[in-house]
Amino acid sequence: MRPLDAGRRRRRSLTVTSPRAEASLSVPDILPSCRHEFPGGTVLVCPRPEAELLAASRIADLVRSRTVEGGRVVLGLATGSTPIAVYDHLAAWHEAGQLSFGRVTTYNLDEYYPMSPADPRSYRAFMDRHLFHRVNLAANQTHLLDGTVPAAHTGEHCHDFERWIAADGGLDLQLLGLGRNGHIGFNEPADLPTDQALALPTRVVALHPTTRADAMKDFGAEANVPHHALTMGIAAILAARSILVLAFGSGKADAVAQSLVGPISARVPGSLLQTVSSQVTWLVDPAAASRLF
Ligand code: F6R
């Protein structure tokens, strides 16, 4: 398999290959029917396995092209069920000797609060399991907000987190999932003027009831789900040089449509991505896209 180099290609000519896939997928073959432009950005509608492979290829392309040039890459990563197969592809390419993370630095979107990184339900443990421990990413290359910081120091910690990202040169690519309620990171729907929402910093937030209900599967019962989390702010997310949003399944259809074609509003945090639409690509399956057309 030849390495991909998206840095020198336009999105239209991206070739997608996987050690797991017998045949390679070529975007030009699927693009004419699946590529759409909406106020919220470019949207590729394709079956979930293809979307996952495309997302992983886009990340791998970026890492490879920068590594070849001797540079570094700063990735913003997400947890949740959505990106798991993307991480599987990246880990498989690494295991096959086709992808190195030696020059990669990562920052994750969020962490429950309070939460110990040693807790298997923590997002640190999630990332270790699904990606970090499967590839050559040492602990000092990966950064998650710390769910053990004393309450009086969370503000300072969140501010430091943003400073570290800036000191590393900013996020080259932010991977995002989308909450059923339209949240990005754990920036939950809010009654805020849009300009204030766009400036929201990295901070402690109260989790929305929908978010806590969705997290129940990981915590056994809703009563066990933390009420708070630390999240990268809207401003830090939108500052990423490119943003890849993944959404799969009919449960995301409303949030996808509201984010892409609804009014820009803090009530649907995904809609705030419309303000930076030229840097946003959405990869959605037909079920998640079902309210768009
Ligand atoms: C996770 C995150 C959340 C999830 C969203 C979707 O780091 O920031 O915004 O992306 O809640 O979760 P899943 O993928 O489980 O549907």
pLDDT digit string, tens, across residues 119-134: 999 999 999 999 999 9
Cβ atoms of residues 175 and 246 within 8 Å:
yes
Stronger pLDDT, 64 or 33, i.e. the higher one: 64
Instruction: Retrieve residue 121's tokens.
Output: 């339900």
Residue 150's pLDDT is: 98
Q: What's the whole-number mean pLDDT along residues 66-79?
A: 95
Specify the residue with its C-alpha closest to ligand 1, atom 12.
80
Dump pLDDT digits (tens) for 196-217. 999 999 999 999 999 999 999 9
Residues that are catalytic: 110, 181, 183, 188
Dump pLDDT digits (tens) for 240-264. 999 999 999 999 999 999 999 999 9
Residue 24's pLDDT is: 41
Ligand 1 centroid – CA 69 distance (Å): 33
Specify the residue with its C-alpha closest to ligand 1, atom 11.
179
Ligand 1 centroid – CA 109 distance (Å): 9
| Nearest alpha carbon to residue 237 among 182, 289, 279, 194 | 279
Q: Kindly state the percentage of the chain with pLDDT values over 70.
A: 89
Query: Would the pTM count as exceeding 0.85?
Result: yes
| Nearest alpha carbon to residue 126 among 108, 138, 102, 141 | 108
Ligand 1 centroid – CA 68 distance (Å): 32
Q: Say whether pLDDT at 32 is over 70.
A: no
Cβ atoms of residues 264 and 271 within 8 Å:
yes
Mean per-residue pLDDT over the chain, rounded: 91
Cβ of residue 79 lying under 6 Å from some atom of ligand 1: yes
Q: Say whether pLDDT at 21 is over 60.
A: no
Ligand 1 centroid – CA 127 distance (Å): 13
Ligand 1 atom at shortest distance from the alpha carbon of 177 = 10
Cβ of residue 269 lying under 6 Å from some atom of ligand 1: no
Q: Say whether pLDDT at 280 is over 50.
A: yes
